[in-house]
Structure 1
Amino acid sequence: MEYYSQEQRAFQKTIRDFFENEVNPHVDEWEKARIFPAHRIFKRCGELGMLGINYDEKYGGAGLDYWWTAAYCEATGYSCQCNGIPMAIMVQTDMCTPALHEFGSEELKQRWLVPSIKGEAVGAIGVSEPCAGSDVFAIQTSARRDGDFYVINGSKIFITNGTQADYITTLVKTDPSAGHHGFSLIVVPTTTPGFSVAKKLEKVGNHSSDTAELLFEDCRVPVANRIGDEGMGFIYQMKQFQKERMVASLSAAAAAQAMLERTLRYTKDRKIFGKPLAAKQHVQFTLAELQTEIEMLRQLNYHCVRMMVAGEESTRETSMAKLVAGRLARKVADWCVQFHGGYGYMDEFLVSRYWRDARLLSIGGGADEVMLQIIAKLDGYSDR
């Protein structure tokens, strides 16, 4: 069954060509450097229409539905020879800008959304803290009102694009006594006095994407930089998480497909005891099972996309997709390395990079256990 139109297929080809010709030749270099030139790459992404697919045309977006985002995510996940760069781009498209587009003032949109869609500004999302990861309610970074400014103090950790970002869409506590209505989202320019990159973090995988711990020390930010209403930040952030999890699942399914195909080619070429490795029934059956599970994830993803396009509530289904994607990515990665044998454990083989990168999917954007908790609550297994 064909899910994409000819126009969407053409868009996917443009994306594939971009990664194959302009990104992949440099990935090894950027992986070793533990960083890629985000401003240069994002500028090209903006020129190709990758950064504002669902956003209003008056801000430079394309105004298209979520099927176009699905097409973009699958082309990106399949084509790029690392996960770090797609992850960094998706922070721009589906993490630091959705609330800005939906709830930000016209002034904020012109100042930050428009250049983000053009790729002229690099953004990051500041939610996680040293003592608050999946438990978003536990964040302690505060914003105290002082006339027409907020004074922000605290720290954020595991921030993708953190060392290169021009601004951080930052979740802060504006009223400690107001529960879930005590949080606000504020755009913090990284040129703000008192803002600093405390540390560039070294990770197990996703090496080409920079990750940082950020420090806010008496950062004075105009009240006009607040996204939407004061006290609504937690609600805005929970809504954003659904897009973050959906793009992760769509990209993961495509990346798993690419690695499975690469492994199939290897097992056909690799001789063991005089015969191709692929001649072994165990190898055939394992690859068949993995392909079946990838197709199941893809169909769940498409179901979620249909719900989103129809305007239906999809938190339950999106959480399921994210849960399955993280677990399946790890499973596929492990088998791909196994079937490559000793070569699969070598840096020069892409499956080793995929294996390192895939582990994050069950942690970032809401750990597997958080997805299970959401599903259990929505299905009535838990009252928490």
Structure 2
Amino acid sequence: MRRSIFETEHEQLRDTAHDFFLKYAVPHRAEWEAQGHVGREIWRQAAEHGLLGLEIPEEYGGAGIHDYRFNAVVIEEAARTRSGVALTLQNEIVAPYLIGLGTEEQKQRWLPGMATGELLGAIAMSEPGAGSDLAGIRTSARRDGDGWVVNGSKTFISGGLLADVVIVVARTDPEAGHKGFSLLLVEDGMAGFERGKKLDKVGQRTSDTMELFFSDVRVPAGNLLGEQGRGFYSLMRNLPQERLGIAVAGLASAEHAYAVTAEYARTREAFGQPIASFQVNRHALSEMHTKLQVARTYLDQCILGVSSGELTAEDAAGAKWWITELEWEVVDRCMQMFGGYGYINEYEISQIWRDARIQRLYGGTTEIMKDLVGRKLGF
């Protein structure tokens, strides 16, 4: 299906990203899966190839791009090549918080390093007792003299192992409800800040996911990100782009799974003929093809909506749940078409299947996404 939303410069970046992932990431994927995280050098290499810090202003060393289509092509190629590198963590999640909320001192301190890949960040929202329910967060930060004292724990934190700075969501006023949350920048090496175990995941094993602990961590007042008490609203402003990024990756992954399966169905024979020629498989391939095209049209309009400022939180939530559910439907059906071979780890479809399952959970579960849309509709 021809896509009309991209121009020459977008496709040039796509080619750069595709070649980069194939050369610098894919050969290391097995090694990274075994150790449970990517090598730190990949971030610096990505920056050298113009794939990191896309939205970081030029005065801080970034590209200063305000066109989400560039972000989208990088996400898509990372997914299609199965690179194992989550550039989205820095590009789509961490950097935008500092760009939008940071003081000039904070931007000067952290953004240049993020633009070069020398400094990595993470964001710590989820807790053992608070996942999609952000209002249940119990990590606290109390004012003490010229700073804050942070106590609590976080879990499911992507990139927590290598992070030099972590944006921590904490309660600064336990009586203020949604107005009682603030964002604090906790730095590697601060006393009382400890990393727990690296969680043993089903899929996406090249991306480390950590437990983080905070025991009387003293954080300078200058590390408050944004306004005190406005943390929840900052999250609500930034989460839509994160969720759209998940959808972009999800559809690219589903399209790749379909391409792999279509080729297999053309060449794999049973009862003397290619399995694609059997009506049940031909209909399944036809149905998946059509659904992917419909989803592509929908998602491309959402991508355009970011740059135009027209994408709403409800649009992003709808795209996230619809496309990740479709991704799982397609990937699982593709795996079925491989038969027993689909369950063998050396076959790519099994690897895609393992990595796809989390998409319906992180960034907000399908159920939460539907609820966000439903509330907007007045239900």
Q: Deviations over 1:283-332 (max 9, x none)?
A: 12211211222222222212112222222251111111001122011111
Distance, in Å, in 1 between the alignment partners of 2:57 and 2:13 is: 18
Secondary structure in structure 2 of the residue aligned to 1:247: helix
Moved over 3 A (4+): none
Cα displacement string for residues 19-73 of structure 1 (whole angstroms, at most 9, x for unaligned residues) = 1111111112221222221x21111111122222223221222222112112222
5+ long unaligned stretches in structure 1: none
**Quick one: distance in 1 between partners of 2:76 and 2:143?**
43
Query: Which residue does the alignment assign to 2:55?
Result: 54
Measured against aligned partners, the alpha-carbon deviations of 1:122-142 in whole angstroms (never above 9, x if no partner) come to 111100000000001110101
Name the stretch that deviates more: 351-360 or 283-292. 283-292
Matched residues, number: 376
- 1:132 alignment partner AA: A
Q: Deviations over 1:182-239 (max 9, x none)?
A: 1111111121110111211101111111111100001011110111111111111111
1:74 aligns with: 76
Bigger shift: residues 306-315 or 329-338: 306-315
Which of residues 123, 140, 160 is equivalent to 1:125? 123
Q: Which position in structure 1 is the counterpart of 2:369?
A: 371
| Superposition TM-score, scaled by structure 2 size | 0.96
How far apart, in 2, do the equivalents of 1:60 and 1:251 lie?
26
Q: Using the alignment, how far apart are the partners of 2:214 and 2:340 within structure 1?
A: 46
Partner-residue secondary structure (3-state), 2:94? coil
When structure 1 is superposed on structure 2, of 268-277 and 23-32 the one drifting more is 23-32
Q: Is the 1:250–1:298 Cα contact (8 Å) retained in structure 2?
A: no
Q: Where in structure 2 are the equivalents of 1:1-384 lying within 5 Å?
A: 1-37=3-39, 39-64=40-65, 65-82=67-84, 85-86=85-86, 89-381=87-379
Tell me which amino acid in the other structure corresponds to 2:191. Answer: P
SS in 1 for 2:338: helix
Structure 2 unpaired stretches of 5+: none
Whole-angstrom CA distance in 1 between matches of 2:231 and 2:112: 21
Q: Aligned partners of 1:49 and 1:81: how far apart in 2?
A: 16
Q: Is the contact made by 2:53 and 2:95 (CA closer than 8 Å) also made in structure 1? A: no
SS at match of 1:351: helix
TM-score by length of 1: 0.95
Percent identity between the two aligned chains: 39
Q: Which secondary structure state, in structure 2, belongs to the residue aligned with residue 97 of structure 1?
A: helix
Cα deviation, 1:309-362, whole Å, max 9, x if unaligned, reads 222251111111001122011111111211111111011111111111111011
Counterparts of 1:337 and 1:28, CA distance in 2: 21
Alpha-carbon separation, structure 1, partners of 2:148 and 2:320: 35
Q: Which moved more, 1:70-79 or 1:96-105?
A: 70-79
In structure 2, give the amino acid aligned to 1:227.
L
